[in-house]
Amino acid sequence: MKRSLLPLIRKIRLAVFDFDGVFTDNRVIVSDDGKESVVCCRSDGYGLRRLESAGVRPLILSTEPSRVVLQRARKLKVECLHGIADKFTELRRLARRARIDMREIAYVGNDINDAECLKAVGLPVVVHDAWPEVRPLAKWVLARDGGRGAVREFADEVWEARRSSHG
């Protein structure tokens, strides 16, 4: 993480995460009876707790209609909106309702359906293996891939940056 990001990080109050490709490695396991599963990182939960302790509210915003997003969100005890076709409109509505300025939001994504949100927020972030189309939209490219600790890396850095700002 570049030190020039610190002022942006210290401003954020809400961290919005895409699910597939951020909490997961962007793959889906499909079984012959139509069940879907995804592969997540055990260490991400600890990161979410650190975000909260640093005064940043985490939230998952997913286009996918699959119930698998809800299952993971419940286990991680994090707010979740799924099956959202237009993520940008939803993000604006959320921000307005919570009286949070777009500059106070971090958005972590990986693919083209994250583009509008990445362009709109104060701290646009992508995982290391994000698609080439959205990489240029990010101010912060994480060192880790989605589902391989990217959420934890983001949370640890935010937690550290905000702790040291009070030092």
CA-based radius of gyration for the chain: 15
37 binds a second copy (CB under 8 A): yes
Q: Toward a second copy, which CB reaches closer, 140 or 159?
A: 159
Q: What is the size of the binding site for a second copy (CB under 8 A)?
A: 37
User: Which of the residues 59 through 118 are near a second copy (CB under 8 A)?
Assistant: 64, 66-68, 71-72, 74-75, 111-113
| Contact between 123 and 137 (Cβ < 8 Å) | no
Q: Toward a second copy, which CB reaches closer, 33 or 166?
A: 33
Indicate which single residue of 34, 85, 97, 99 sits in contact with a second copy (rule: CB under 8 A).
Answer: 34
29 binds a second copy (CB under 8 A): yes
> Rounded to the nearest whole angstrom, what is the least distance from the CB of residue 20 to a second copy in the complex?
4
* Residue 78, amino acid: V
Binding mask 111-140 for a second copy (x = CB under 8 A): xxx-----------------x---------
Which one, of 131, 118, 112, lies nearest residue 91 by Cα? 118
Burial annotation 129-158 (CB, 10 A radius, 16+ → b, else e): bbbeebeebbbbebebbbbbbbbbbbbbbb
> Rounded to the nearest whole angstrom, what is the least distance from the CB of residue 110 to a second copy in the complex?
8
Burial annotation 93-121 (CB, 10 A radius, 16+ → b, else e): ebbeeeeeeeebbbbbbbbebbbbbbebb
Tokens 């879907």 -> residue: 36
Using CB under 8 A, list all residues that contact a second copy: 20-21, 24, 26-43, 46, 64, 66-68, 71-72, 74-75, 111-113, 131, 147, 149, 152
